[in-house]
Structure 1
Amino acid sequence: MKQLIDEQFQFAKEQYKVLSRQVPADRMPKTYYAKTGKVETSDTKWWCSGFYPGALLYIYENTKDEATMAEAGRRLAILEKEKHYTGNHDLGFMMYCSFGNAYRITGNPAYKTTIDTAAASLATRYRPGAGVIQSWNASKKMQGPVIIDNMMNLELLYWVSDHGGDKKYREIALTHADNTLKNHFRPDHSSYHVIDYDMQTGKVIKKVTAQGAADESAWSRGQSWGLYGYTMMYRFSGNKRYLAHAKNIAAFMLRHPNMPVDLVPYWDFNAPGIPDTYRDASAAAVMASALLELAQYGSKKERKTYVAAAEKIIRSLSSPAYRAQPGENGGFLLMHSTGALPLKSEVDVPLTYADYYFLEALHRYKTWYL
């Protein structure tokens, strides 16, 4: 595994130089379409804007390549203004995956100031009446949508609260996690994608999906977000309910009859057409990173199970079945992710967050288990 991980980081170092050359100085990479041979980019307000600089930082941390660090610095500089963004719940993805890693690696106090400001911006999305952070703004379809992905953004709030910030951020994170635990999950520990709340009372209006196969299906990346989110919330809070819940989500995923042998899930556990349908490498990458942390908190037997599963995912994603050849795939690392199949958006393509969590999983394995 040491050799495999070192090889992946060296590959990533060179591959991201290919990617960087195709991304304008004021934009972020989003995906790549083989049919057109073009890298699609986004502005810095796009929810994925933090993953590219975050990935560069993981590559730098593990290769000490100064050109990679310089590129990370340039991208952080264009992203920094989004610390004031309040248009949705994605400030954690945008600002913590980027500036959080930058501060952890460099200790630059300016980066912490950015993170602190971003937490204040995210907290404006909190709705006290419902005890949740509203993910998206109200629309004709939904009054107060909250998606399972939102669990990931709690890390920004809790970290800032624990590092000299307002204690209310911690309370917001805990209340949101508790209400998500109560309302988002089914008896089998699978998660709905979207809960529509009455934001004045907290009453659940409906439970639906935006990216899954059906309202009652288990959208794969959503399950991974939940697994990662509750593992992370246990790290911060020590609340054993969160740990037990994370273990239950892990069991749901690992034991699911539709989980493929290589542990790279189909885009939805209940997708029509299994096995002849799309995989989601991003769901696998998030799951691997989450399992490596969950293993830190389990019994010896659980630790062995979780690490073995994460290792299998890493080996699968590092194989030619999912990892691009040098210079190909637009410069992205992984192939075969699925963004939102029902919306016909980003289907069977590379995605920045697949690369980011793959690199995070490699880094965690190297740091904790080698």
Structure 2
Amino acid sequence: MPGFADQGQLLINELADGVRLTDVYAEIQRAVEVYNQHKTTVASLLSYPTTQAAAPIAQGLAQEHFDVASEFGTPTALNPPVDVIKLGFQYADWDKATRFTWKFLRDATSEQVTDRVRNLLDADARLVQGLVLQRLFDPTPGENDFAHTVYGLWNGDGIVPPSYMGRTFTGSHDHYLVSQGAELDSGDVEAAVRLVVEHGYGLGADSGSQLVALFNPAEAEHVQSWRAGEENANGQTARFDFIPSANAPTYLTQSSIVGALPPTDVDGVPVLGSYGKAWVIESMLVPAGYFAVFATGGPDSEQNVIARRMHPSPAWQGLRLIEGNWAKYPLVESFFQRGLGTGVRHRGAAAVVQIKASGSYEVPTANL
């Protein structure tokens, strides 16, 4: 048609290695689809996807009791539900673009083009992981677009945690701890585990969730040396043995292992071993000098600590690949977009510890 350039008139139809631009674009689209479907990270064990802006959470269970029945009386009714608060989840739109000049495309190979996309996929993974971990390690409350408060874990903000199995708490309850020692010791991990378990999380089959202890590799090395009854850092005596998983390097031992070995991985996330009831996982995503213990129901389980808020429309969920402003050159400009925000859904399902000798908890700035 006069005045319009059709596909046969493109200045650049194929790259230097003979691969057509349309084929590379189709390959990138498939890569993004597979990435959205199969990506498993530490973030998926800590969080779950939702389209809600906030979740109403009951602040405890009413302590009901039966009455002695009367021959002529009418039983009393249950009391109204206890107070409910809304835990908000933030949301923001994030994007990045690729732009190639026609001269670059003329001389580039398909590998050079798709390498840019691999960098974008890596940046997207770091965005998701970073937002989830930032919310985990940061007690500072925020506010979302519906004016709902976005909370961290229990942090002594005056809100009283719900009671559990007869155990009551006060508004000073805090899940952001300081180790009170310059080096990680077994007592720090055991204390963090107790904080999570006392709220009913991480009790295995009874709660539908598993305890996970998440460390930076520098701290994970210490954990792997702990043995029950033996002293470790800061004069602490470990209550349990660290038990390597089948994924660990081959080792010799004169001891017998009682019970099941920890799994080699949790849906693709490698497990180093176990300490007590917690599976030990290491990740460079965790800032050095910090660790976390959390309960997980599995990848993307609603029992997980943090909500990952997405847009309500399915068309706007996940990582999206959008053609740029030049429709006939889909690789000249392409947009990658994701809508995502976070908020803590289960405030008692995790505890974090900063490893330092004294002072109050400080929000980490590195690696997040």
Structure scoring higher RCO (CA < 8 A, sep ≥ 6) equals: 2
Q: Higher strand proportion, which one?
A: 2
Quick check: which one's helix share is greater?
A: 1
Both proteins in one fold, TM over 0.5: no
> Per the shorter chain, which TM-score range?
under 0.3
Question: Computing the radius of gyration over CA atoms, which structure comes out larger, 1 or 2?
Answer: 2
